[in-house]
Amino acid sequence: MGSSRFALIALVRLIALALTIAAAAFVGANTAWYAVLVILATAVVIQWFGLLRFVNTSNREIGRFLSAIEYEDLTQTFTDRGLGGTFRELGQGLNRVMERLRTSRNEREEQAHYLRALVEHIPVALIALEPAGRLTVLNSAARRLLGVGRFETIGDLAKRGEAFADGLTALGPGKTALVKLARPGGEVQVKAAATQVTVGGVTRRLVSLQSIDNELNEHELAAWQALIRVLTHEMMNSLTPVSSLAGTAHEVVRVLYETLPPGSKLEPAAADAREATEAVARRSAGLLQFVQSYRRLTKDLVPQLAPVSLTRVFARLERLMAPELERRGIAFSAVVDPVSLEITADDELLDQALINLIRNATDALNGRKDGRIALTARLDEGGFAALAVADNGPGIDAGIRDKIYIPFYTTKRTGSGVGLSLTRQIALVHGGSIQVSDTPGGGATVTLRLR
């Protein structure tokens, strides 16, 4: 029925064309009506092109379909244009193909959106190095790791240290390396791994970067804790009876000395024995207390996390430390920017860590008349809350900065070497870090970075 309808319309158009041609021939042969002849000739041309256009309807629809695919215009639809079954089947077939193409494109777009979201939110930093030397930062983890700055070429990586840029440039596909990345707050250890991908004929190196500073610090801390646990156990086993016996011996000698008659020949020897046993008893008690202090480092800290207002923490610390700082003539300031800044932390452990840092700064300013300590909190470029204690003291020599967190190590005559080790442990159990840098104008700044 569809085919006969098309044929009928074509036949009618053909008959009309033939009649028009016959009329034009009659007028041209038998009359001088040139105006009518021109009109009939024009009608013949119009009917001829109309007939050709009608016959080529299917070709035009297929051409429109191919053009839509070429320009990815998948909104086109096709109908039978009232020409019956054959054209209806053609239109339905083209519509089915267009629908399948639309579905396929939607699926690709959804998959691409999923992959972009996945790349953006994975915690591993990803960058792409292209042969021409261009650099593409692929996700937010990479932007946080590299920090503020323009990173468009491989050479821009030198902003984070020449060793870092050289290490990534030399890193071949399938290889891994440990490189140091320089950041404003200090260097961090980064594990870099490279793979090679080819897209659109362009070969790129895809490099993943993962900071392993916390993992290294945790393993180092665990090793120190295991060592200290063994040492303190053995030392406590030996020192406890020694301290007890020394105290008993001193008490016996003291009683003996006090019961000697005046002018006894044993008095000088008894006096020496009393002083000796007193010194042994005092020193053994001091050693016992010293070992007890290190046992704190062997305890596993389990933070009780809750939202903490840093403005309240700083106000509390300022009230607590003010009397001692005023007595020593040290100016103190505490600033939180913004004042609404909050973190998730254990407020008691956080207080302990900051008190340790403030006391270290106070000791560094001992004897200085214009001593200043600044306690500040702000969001750094990596999205961490940076809590800094800065002083204008003599500073910390760069050669010993890697040692100051080691238990037992101290630069103070009366120090125990526990404070900074415990502070770093508190930072680690919060998923943060601790770094030392120079204070502009002189002095040291210790920064806790916490979420």
Task: Give how many domains the chain has, as a whole number.
Answer: 4
Residue 442 lies in a domain: yes
State the alpha helices, DSSP H only, in 155-209.
162-170
User: Residue holding tokens 């993992």?
Assistant: 215
CA distance 392 to 166: 36
Same domain for 285 and 413, yes or no, is no
Domain that holds residue 147: 122-211
Task: Provide the pLDDT for residue 402.
Answer: 67
Residue 112 lies in a domain: no
Residue 217 lies in a domain: no
Task: Provide the pLDDT for residue 173.
Answer: 86
Same domain for 279 and 323, yes or no, is no
CA distance 408 to 422: 11
Same domain for 97 and 132, yes or no, is no
Residue 216 lies in a domain: no
CA distance 331 to 311: 19
User: Residue holding tokens 């591993």?
Assistant: 124
Q: Which of 277, 154, 264 is nearest to 207 (CA)?
A: 154
Residue 117 lies in a domain: no
Task: Provide the pLDDT for residue 1.
Answer: 45
* pLDDT per residue of the chain (451 residues) written in tens, 0 to 9: 445 565 666 667 677 767 777 777 777 777 777 787 778 778 777 777 666 666 556 566 666 677 777 777 777 776 655 555 556 666 677 778 888 888 888 888 888 888 888 888 888 888 888 877 788 877 888 887 787 677 888 888 888 888 888 888 888 888 888 888 877 656 777 888 888 888 777 788 888 888 766 665 555 556 555 555 655 555 556 666 767 777 787 777 777 777 777 777 777 777 777 777 777 777 677 666 656 655 555 566 678 889 999 999 998 888 888 888 888 889 999 999 989 999 999 888 888 889 889 988 888 888 788 899 999 999 887 678 889 999 998 887 776 766 666 655 565 555 555 567 778 878 878 888 888 888 888 888 988 888 7
Q: What is the CATH number of the domain that holds 379?
A: 3.30.565.10
Is the peptide bond preceding residue 338 cis, with omega within 30 degrees of 0?
Answer: yes
CA distance 266 to 256: 10
Residue at a domain's end among 185, 211, 237: 211
Residue 23 lies in a domain: yes
* Distances, alpha carbon 136 to alpha carbons 118, 128, 139, 156, 165, in Å: 17, 5, 9, 11, 14
Asked if 350 and 383 touch (Cβ cutoff 8 Å), the reply is: no
Same domain for 184 and 267, yes or no, is no
